[in-house]
Structure formats: C-alpha cells, structure tokens
C-alpha cells in the first residue's frame, strides 16, 4: 500500500504539469488562429479602403463632387475605416485566450 501511495504522490505533480502544458499549447494555437484571422480581415479592409478612396477620386476627377465635398467625404471615409479597424481589433482581443496566472 505504501508503494501505491508513493507512486500516486510522484505522479500527481507530473500530471498537473502535463495538463498545464497542454492548456498552454491550446492557448497558443487559438491565439495564432485569431492573429491570422485578424490579418486577413485587415487586408480586406485595406482593399475596401483603397476601393472607396479610388471611387471618391474618380468622382472628383469627373467633377461630380467639388473640392470641399471631396475633402469632407475623404475624412469621413478615413474615420469610418479607422473605426471599423478598432472594432475589429476589440473583437479579436476579446476572443483571445488568456493564460491563467
């Protein structure tokens, strides 16, 4: 019986260390997945931003809008894309796995 208790006492720290290691690896994999997702969304937003600004420039060249309107709309576009990026960053950070201390 004493040998069984000794084995149990020795194996418990190793088992808990193994579970902690597995949890750590799971957190790392999840965070890597979220980072990749964030970078893909960021690329999509940059493409959308470039398309919107190109369309706005085209409108200005064709004189559909005047210079002052172009400036205001450009500011609105830039601010709206920045807001979208901040919202996306907040959503990704809220999803990220946290390590227990």
Kindly state the average pLDDT of the residues 5-31. 73
Q: How many domains does the chain have?
A: 1
pTM of the model: 0.60
Q: How far apart are CA 6 and CA 3, in angstroms?
A: 5
In a domain, 101, yes or no: no
Domain residues for the domain of 68 are 2-95
Buried b (16+ CB within 10 A) or exposed e, 54-76: eebeeebeeeeeeeeebeebeee
Per residue in 28-80, pLDDT (tens digit) is 888 888 888 888 988 998 899 899 889 998 888 888 888 898 889 899 998 99
pLDDT at 4: 47
Kindly state the average pLDDT of the residues 8-26. 73
Q: Are 45 and 81 in contact (CB under 8 A)?
A: yes
In a domain, 10, yes or no: yes
Question: Would the pLDDT of 8 be above 60?
Answer: no
């Amino acid at each position: 019986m004493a040998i069984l208790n000794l084995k149990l006492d020795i194996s418990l720290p190793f088992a808990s260390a193994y579970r902690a290691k597995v949890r750590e690896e799971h957190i790392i994999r999840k965070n890597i997945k979220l980072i990749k997702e964030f970078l893909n969304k960021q690329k999509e937003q940059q493409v959308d931003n470039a398309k919107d600004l190109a369309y706005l420039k085209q409108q200005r060249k064709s004189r559909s809008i005047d210079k002052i309107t172009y400036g205001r709309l450009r500011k609105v576009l830039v601010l709206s894309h920045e807001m979208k990026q901040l919202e996306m960053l907040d959503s990704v950070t809220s999803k990220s796995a946290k390590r227990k201390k």
